[in-house]
Structure 1
Amino acid sequence: MSSPSIDLRPKCVGTTGDVFSEPIHNAGRVEGRSNLFRHATFSADGTTIVTQNEDNCLRSFVLPVDLLDERDELHQLQPYCDYQPATNIQSFSLYPKFDLGDTSTTLVLSASADVPITLRNALDYETVYAVYPFINDRTEEYQSARSLTFTPSGSCFIAGSHNVISAYDVARPDSGPISQYILSSRRGAVKTDALRLKSRAWVSAMRLSSDGLLAIGTTEREIALFENHGLGRCLCTFRLESRQGTGVTGLQWSPCGRYLLVAERSSDAIQVFDIRDTKQEVGRLVGRNAATPQVLDIDVVSTADGFEAWAGGIDGHVKVWSNPGSKDALHLPDANLDMHRSPVSSAVFHPSGSVLASCSGERGAFDSSDSDSDSDSDSNPNQTKPLESDNTLRIWSV
């Protein structure tokens, strides 16, 4: 790998420390699983970070107002509140008008298995504003929304499930979708213009562009683009040609809306597509070190001369690529930042672009087997042996 060409020296200013280093406890029992951070996202005003952990909890971290002030010690980050539903969380999305000064806007939409999609307050998860049924008309069973996104105005949201995306009016609680798009026809069925994808798959990722295009990615490695923030017709579909990945996990648009970046499970590469002109792959960001089934997010940030892509790897490093799409074929990282000791599941930017939040962790970080045959018979049967792991949320000044 060539030497990095960007000189970046992020400074850590806050951390959760060892709080999440203990194994998961459930109903008083130690499960022997590592409480890794799966995902982190900033609120629109940059005051709050909401995370999802392996223990099936959403947690809201309100950042200290003196976060960037010079001090000798790191800020110790603690959850302001948390929420643990009875069934597994499938996805969540923060309200795009989130403003800490107005608690009527501090909203988070979450989808869990076998229950309606729920709109709650991220500062008090017990406060439920609305529920939205997502039901399969044929079976009358709840569908799992594997991906969620609000439209920019916050008046609607899009939910993606198995072979379908559905649009909801936020102002119509207890109501079904206002529109629905079936993605693939059944085998033997008559195809129509509304049935575009070849495979019946889960919608595993969504992202809106600055031009109002909604990109969706599936577990069968297909991409579809919809106009009018996902409320309009399907413009095109295509399949990822590279055989390196096993399903789309992350999508990001360049700030100008020209390039679409696609990340997959078990793939070291991030593919870059020129959507405005050729709708073809124009580059590939390599050297990430992300050949894992664990979901590792990607993010983009505007710069003075374009934009950068940031993504974590299983080595605990975050890689940076300057102006993806500007280089043909393989694009090696322009910076390589050592930030964690475990896989980096998220590296996301504050809306201002000057503060980065990263989180990490990995499964299998605790061993619940009885490794000591001479141990006392009255020892704790749920005792686990900690292995080297880094389950932390960290805030960096960039």
Structure 2
Amino acid sequence: MDHKEELSHNSKVELVASTGDITQHLDDSDDGLQGYFETAQWTADGTALLTSSSSNLISGYIVPEDLLSPTANRPLKLVPQATIQLSEPSNVLAGAPYFRLAEPWTQQLLVSSRDHPIQLFYLASPSPSPSLTPSPASSYPLTQARSETFLTATALVWPSPGTHFITGSRNLLARFDVTRTGEEPILRVKTIPSERHLSKGGGVGMRGTVSSLAAQPPDANFASLVAAGTWTRWVGLYDFAQPGGSCAATWSVASAATEDAGIGGDGITQAIWSPCGRYLLLGERKSTGVLVYDVRVTGKLLGWLAGREALGNQRISCDVFPGQDGSEEAGFEVWSGTTDGTVKMWEGVGTREGAHEPAWSCDAARNSTVGSTCVHQSGTVVATCSGSWEFPDDNGDNDSLLQDCSDSEESDDDSSDISRPTSPWMRRRNKESSLKIWSISNNSEAEP
């Protein structure tokens, strides 16, 4: 069914541009599979979208100039204007906070792959062949202190003004100077006192692989904090404006998610700040909600966004936007996809305690996970990307547990099943996958 028809009952959003189902018109990869969109994010100037796919392809889509023209033949076709084919899977992708379409030197992005330094690419860099990875413009090694073994940056944040970026790995945060090409981080912050002690920190700090990083908005009326979440369900607040990147607080979300909210969870996949910088939202895999904390009261749960189904291992990223009147008292909006292909929006977040139900939802994908939902800085459009694996020969109960297992730190423990022809992983295939842009209506009477 055409998505325009599916959404005709909902006057809140309208499909204005789309790639279409990329699994239908891409060439088969070497293993007979086609890639699907995993993540999408707006560039800093809002003129383009950066995407990453399961086939290790980074793409840049420039937004059509007539996107919101009333005379345009919608949906407009989205075609990538630049691509970077990575030779290895990338755990993180971050666009430069100073990205400007009119200035090619600013069109930079950072990626991190296993057993490689963190690499900086220019999006428009020419490559001798579309199948070859262009040479990185810069690289930043992150290695073991007592060896030359590369540490994998499992999370990365590149905050404004863009002179430095921060990465996370196992029990470690690292701060890099962008101008120091080829050099190790200028600051290392251990999240536990020692890995060599039998108690692994003795209960001090947070132990585990950092899976998500988020920096407070630059105009927030608070200290410049960086939030770090881990696969072990811990979160820490670090102030890199202080000498040594001091730790402000750490706490576990396990009890709040399981006992207080009852939404479950199995490792933090996203940390994101509210537009005012007062509230911290934490999303987990295998969860049915998003936790909301007021950082003025450390570790105390304010409430949770109910009905955000993230039932598998696949990352699902949400986005925030200021409330309609722009005041902190009115709260803010949260937009998120789900594993069942819908997009949901919560209004007035931060104004109430306990469960917070979505204001409305709409269908955005056909039987696949909406991995990213990102609102444009103008508030007039929202972008979504969808895609996931399916395992037709298995019972449905096991499908979600196998989706995007590469995000999990436990996924490298045993690869023997993957090599056997009878393994479910070898029988996987793509579901529908697409990148879409929707216009947002200001009609407050849109039906949920």
Q: With the length of structure 2 as denominator, give the TM-score of the two structures.
A: 0.78
Task: Describe the superposition over 1:147-202 as per-residue Cα deviations: whole angstroms up to 9, x where unpaired.
Answer: 11113110000011111110000111010000001112326369989x94242x11
User: What is the match of residue 433 of structure 2?
Assistant: 391
- Corresponding residue of 1:17: 20
Deviates more, 1:175-184 or 1:236-245: 236-245
Provide the residue aligned with 2:44 in structure 1.
44
Match of residue 206, structure 1, among 209, 213, 238: 213
Counterpart-to-counterpart distance in 1, 2:431 and 2:197: 50
Using the alignment, how far apart are the partners of 1:75 and 1:260 within structure 2? 36
8 Å CA contact retained: 1:24, 1:30: no
Q: CA deviation at 1:8?
A: 5.6
Counterpart of 2:182, as a letter, is D
- Which residue matches 1:110? 111
C-alpha distance in structure 1 between counterparts of 2:46 and 2:124, whole Å: 14
Q: Secondary structure at the match of 1:104?
A: helix
Q: Greater shift after overlay, 155-164 or 288-297?
A: 288-297
| Shift in alpha-carbon separation, 1:91–1:81, aligned structure 2, 3 A | same
| 1:318 paired residue number | 343
CA distance in 2, matches of 1:190, 1:247: 21
Equivalent residue number for residue 376 of structure 1 = none
Letter in 2 for 1:214: V
* Deviations 1:335-360 (CA, angstroms, capped at 9, x unpaired): 11221112100010112121111000
Aligned to 1:354: 380
- In the alignment, does 2:304 pair up with 1:284? yes
User: How many residue pairs end up in the alignment?
Assistant: 372
What SS does structure 2 have at the residue aligned with 1:268? strand
Amino acid at match of 1:346: S
Q: What residue is the counterpart of 2:55 in the other structure?
A: 55
Give the Cα separation in 1 of the matches to 2:373 and 2:429.
24
List aligned pairs for 1:129-278, cutoff 5 A: 129-184=137-192, 185-186=194-195, 188=197, 196-199=204-207, 201-210=208-217, 211=222, 212-228=224-240, 232-240=245-253, 241=255, 242-243=257-258, 244-278=264-298
Structure holding more helix per residue: 2
- Per-residue deviation, residues 202-240 of structure 1 (Å, max 9, x unmatched): 111011112421001001000000114697311110110
In the alignment, is the contact (CA less than 8 A) between 1:158 and 1:165 conserved in 2? yes
CA distance in 2, matches of 1:43, 1:223: 27
Structure 1 position 137, deviation (Å): 1.9
Q: Which runs of 4+ in 1 moved over 4 A?
A: 189-193, 384-388
Q: Structure 1 or 2: larger strand share?
A: 1
Deviations 1:74-132 (A, max 9, x none): 21111112112222111111110100011111110111111111111122263632111
Which residue identity lines up with residue 435 of structure 2 in the other structure? Answer: L
Secondary structure at the aligned position of 2:105 is classed as: coil
Cα separation, partners in 2 of 1:196 and 1:257, compared to 1, 3 Å: farther
Matched, 1:309 2:334: yes
- Could you tell me which residue of structure 1 aligns to residue 86 of structure 2? 85
RMSD between aligned alpha carbons? 2.6
Structure 1 SS opposite 2:183: coil
Cα distance in structure 2, aligned partners of 1:182 and 1:228: 13
1:343 equivalent in structure 2: 369
Alpha-carbon distance in 2 for matches of 1:43, 1:151: 13
Q: Is the 8 A contact 2:211 2:229 kept in 1?
A: yes
Measured at CA, do residues 140 and 355 of structure 1 come closer, stay the same or move farther in structure 2, by a change above 3 Å? same
- Higher RCO, 1 or 2 (CA under 8 Å, sep at least 6)? 1
Identify unmatched segments of 5+ residues in structure 2: 1-9, 127-133, 259-263, 394-425, 441-448
Name the % identity.
32
